[in-house]
Amino acid sequence: MFHKIDLLTHYGNTANNAYYNLLTLAEARDFSGRQRIFEFGLKHAISAPAWEELEFEVPSLEWIDSPQWSDFPGAETFNSVREPWARSQGRGRLASLLARLKQSKFPFERIYGFFFSGIATRLRRSIIESLPAGAKAGLERLSRLVIMPIWLLSLRPFESDTTSREMAIVYGGNFLGSSRIPRRRSFKLIAFEHGTFRWSLSKSSGIFEMVWKFLYRRNIRRCDFAFVSNLDSETIDAASRLMGNRWAAVPHPYISHSGSPYSGNSKNRAELQMSTDSDHLILLGSSHNWSSLHDKGTFLALEAFRNLRARGHRVGLVTIEWGLQTDESRTFLAENQLDPHVHWLRPLPRKNLQKLAADCDLSWNQFAYRAIGAFDLRMLEQGVPHVSMAPDEVGASLIGAHAPWYDAIEASEIVTQTERILRQYNQRSRNEILDEHAELYRAWLSRYHSPEVLMQIQAIVFERLSVGHSWEDGKARATWAQVTAKLGD
């Protein structure tokens, strides 16, 4: 099924998409090529394979940004699948330029040495400190514009293994700090979209962010193709603007654990009910964000929770201490006398999160974009009744079916869908409700969002790119909806 590929290189690992895709392709019957993942200095724990595979408690919020994986046995084994991108292994354009200058008669080393000498450094600092605040800010912006092209020249391009029939996929935009995508190369390169297309076309908060987004768009347009996993209207529009027709909708790379759905812990559930003075528990798993910088629509969830308590529903909120608006969320809950009914937790690795969901009665995700996210998939795998925004008619047509959870956009709809679930609990046993949802959700995952679907789409795209055929000729066979329809025959 796969066109012969000797080497597949995954550049970056945003949200563990590369890790799961590597595992997916490793299980493909007709894929025998070697795979590797290059990581660009990203230390964030949530984008590490051990986050998906191990069960542990996060020591602190600071640990997330700079994790010490040696604290947890087995973590380094999982994380070692990622190879560090060492800039010293190759020359960027600046390195080549400096090498030529050193070989010439130009007094480069003497000029360079004086510029960074103690006398020159003190002189620069004294001049800068004497400037007014406005002039300092202007100089800072100017320095960024001066440094930017120098930094760009230093970036090492993605390199190919000329002895192999190679394909490559780049995930997210983290590569920008360390590398660049060359216009000419001997291998085909595919962009894997995970919110970056939408972000790159959004408004910027300053000149640096504006330049960064421009650089991302400039690089990513050089890709031969794109896999698009977020199917909200903004992302679909961004994919068309950046890639034209050279893209295909695909499921998020994701593999269910053999041990799921996990059994609940009655003791932990009772403690959560007691700490929130509630009968039913709602798990709000998305980060606390609702600003233009990072919108999860979390405030709508908080407003819905306030309305549910005001209506007399004895519900408790179990939520994650994570996001740009965490402090604002705490303030809102305190001002509305809701904090006695809220239990805060540090971010949880995948297994811990799904076991927590087993102790809750329903879950809420995000209410800003009509897409399928990682938290949605975890809740479907676990089988807990789930409320979130879902792909619209266009997104559903690309998938071949609507998402199986309870769709909600406004706070009033979150309330309505939650009350619908609570009525079920009041009329039937909790185990019966959970079993019913687990069966429904897992059947949907198997049919519409499985590794098999992702594998088949990639196989068709790889083949067409390898032999030089246009995408339009094979598009009908490779669309998500066509593949899922075939699996259902």
Please enumerate in sequence order all residues whose Cβ is within 8 A of that of 225, keeping only pairs 6 or more positions apart, or say none.
188, 190, 191, 243, 246, 247, 248, 461, 465, 471
Q: What is the pTM of this model?
A: 0.84
Q: Going residue by residue through the chain (489 aa), what tens digit of pLDDT does each one get? A: 666 888 999 999 988 999 999 999 999 888 888 999 998 877 889 999 999 999 999 999 999 988 999 989 999 999 999 988 764 444 445 444 544 554 555 564 455 454 445 555 555 556 656 667 666 566 556 655 555 555 555 566 676 665 568 899 999 888 887 788 888 888 899 999 988 999 899 888 777 778 788 889 999 999 999 999 989 999 999 999 999 989 999 999 999 998 889 999 999 999 999 999 999 999 999 999 887 767 889 999 999 999 999 999 999 999 999 988 999 999 999 999 999 999 999 999 999 999 999 999 999 999 988 989 899 999 999 999 999 999 999 999 999 999 999 999 999 999 999 999 999 999 999 999 999 999 999 999 999 999 999 999 999 899 888 877 666 654 545 588 888 887 765
Calpha distance 218→375 (Å, rounded):
31
**What are the sequence ranges of the domains in the chain?**
7-41+85-89+157-254+453-484, 104-154, 266-448
Per-position DSSP letters for 342-389, written without gaps between them: EEEE----HHHHHHHHHTSSEEE--SSSSS--HHHHHHHHHT--EEE-
Q: Supply the pLDDT for residue 399.
A: 93
- Crossing angle of helices 471-478 and 480-488, rounded to 10°: 40
The backbone torsions φ and ψ at residue 209, rounded to the nearest 5 degrees and listed phi first, read -65, -35
Give the Cα separation of 44 and 61 in Å (integer).
Answer: 11
Q: What sign does the CA torsion over 90, 95, 100, 103 have?
A: negative
Query: CA-to-CA distance for 359 and 345, rounded, in angstroms?
Result: 14
* Type of residue at 204: S
CB count within 10 Å of CB 339 equals 16
Rg of the chain over Cα atoms, rounded to whole angstroms, equals: 25
Cβ(480)–Cβ(248) under 8 Å? yes
Select from 190, 160, 11, 169 the least CA-distant residue to 84. 11
User: Dihedral of the CA atoms 5, 10, 11, 17 (nearest 10)?
Assistant: 150
Considering the domain 266-448 in this protein, what is its CATH number? 3.40.50.2000
CB of 186 closer than 8 Å to CB of 239: no
Q: What end-to-end distance do the CA atoms of the chain give, in Å?
A: 19
Question: 291's torsion region: left (phi>0), alpha (psi -120 to 50) or beta?
Answer: beta
CA distance 262 to 309: 29
Distance (Å, rounded) from C-alpha 176 to C-alpha 139? 24
